[in-house]
């Protein structure tokens, strides 16, 4: 079966990515929301993403979050 273009894309450090939230997450919990950010680190299926918009959990604000690489897609760079 042919793999989709999205699945075959390799995400690199510096790429801009977007992904939906997931209730099975600690920080990016809203499944109806699309989170966007820049990949600043990568390690075996995990991406460290600097979020365009910080996310609040409890009374804490988070500027970065770890995301499974399989959850993200490349996003157009902001001009």
Partner 1 sequence: MASLIVRKNVDNLNAAELQALRTGYTKAQAIRDNRGYNYFAGLHGIPNWYCWHHDRTQGSTVNANLFLPWHRAYLLFFERAIRDQSPADPKVGLPWWDWTSTTSHNSGVPKAFSAVTVLGKANPLYRAHISAPTANPPINRNTRRFPGDPSELPTRADVNDLLDISQYDDFSSQLEDIHDQIHGWTGGNNGQVGGDMGFLATAAWDPIFWSHHCMIDRLWYLWQQRHGVNNIPSSLQSMVLNPFSKTVRDVLSINALGYEYAVNLMRL
Report the interface residues with partner 1, using CB under 8 A.
Answer: 23-27, 29, 40-41, 43-46, 48, 57-60, 62, 64-66, 68, 70
Q: Which is nearer to partner 1, 44 or 77 (CB)?
A: 44
Q: Which is nearer to partner 1, 18 or 22 (CB)?
A: 22
Distance, CA of 19 to CA of 60 (rounded, Å): 21
Distance, CA of 39 to CA of 10 (rounded, Å): 12
Shortest spacing between CB 47 and partner 1, in angstroms: 9
Structural tokens at position 38? 């820049």
Sort strands 16-20 and 73-74 into parallel, antiparallel or unpaired.
antiparallel
Shortest spacing between CB 10 and partner 1, in angstroms: 13
């Amino acid at each position: 079966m042919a793999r989709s273009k999205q699945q075959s894309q390799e995400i690199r450090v510096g790429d801009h990515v977007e992904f939906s939230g997931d209730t099975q997450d600690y920080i990016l919990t809203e499944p109806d929301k699309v989170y966007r950010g820049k990949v600043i680190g990568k390690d075996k299926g995990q991406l460290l993403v600097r979020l365009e918009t910080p996310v609040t959990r409890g009374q804490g604000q988070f500027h970065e979050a770890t995301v499974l690489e399989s959850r993200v897609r490349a996003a157009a760079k902001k001009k």
